Amino acid sequence: MLAALPAFASVTALVRRPHADDAQHVKLRTVVVDFDHLEAQAEHFGVTHLFCARGARREFRLTERLAASMSWALPATYRAVDVVDVAQTLVDAAIEDRPGIRVIENANIRRLAKEV
């Protein structure tokens, strides 16, 4: 989504492992890193925006699907959020271009997704 925006000349995604869709956009570069040793990846942090979407993925995992079916019983903070909603919220935050650190939690991502 970021790579499709004219405001961004390039997008670097730090990933645990490569994915077949990684080469979809000419402005997107993926770098496989060891997240336990990010200090070794310092050259990738000279950026204008940095996003961290912990746990955002589209992989099928049976236990997560089972847990998601019971998520109605959990407080909003712990409910699953669709990865597309996470991505769109991050893109919207980048477009807003407000300086500083922002934390957008699950409940707010769900609320923002409903407003769109």
CA torsion 53-6-20-34 (nearest 10°) is -40
Of 75-79, 87-91, 105-109, the one with minimum mean pLDDT is: 75-79
- Decide: 94 and 2 in contact? Cβ < 8 Å: yes
Q: Which two tokens stand for residue 35?
A: 């997240």
What average pLDDT does the segment 10-20 reach? 82
- Decide: 12 and 44 in contact? Cβ < 8 Å: yes
Mean of all residue pLDDT scores within the chain: 79
pLDDT value for 55: 62
Burial pattern 30-45, b for ≥16 Cβ within 10 A else e, equals beeeeeeeeeeeeeee
| pTM summary value | 0.62
